[in-house]
Amino acid sequence: MANNDFSWMNNPALKNIDASKLQMLMTLADQGKGKSQKELLPFLMAAASQTKSSGKSFTNEETNLILEVLKQGKSPEETAKIEQMVSLIQKMKQMR
């Protein structure tokens, strides 16, 4: 994957997030690329579980910051998809 696909990771707003967490996020993004929406939710839930067990989970503040950076420059439709995915993940967490 080309480095410019992850240019959002160079956003100064993310400077206080541990580099190993960002690297892990980049790896997950690469693995999730090309998955359908139906495949993506189980993938994200498994990734969240794996992340938590590795001890490198993201704080709520870090997660919100990353999501805001990801939404920058996106169309309203793309932003809505991101927000919908976040909402689904939150609902899944509540069901546990």
pLDDT in the model for residue 4: 47
Local confidence pLDDT in tens for the 96 residues of the chain: 344 467 888 889 889 998 888 888 888 888 888 877 778 778 877 887 777 788 877 888 888 888 888 888 888 988 888 888 888 777 777 776
Place of tokens 């206080």: 16
Q: What is the pTM of this model?
A: 0.68
pLDDT in the model for residue 7: 80
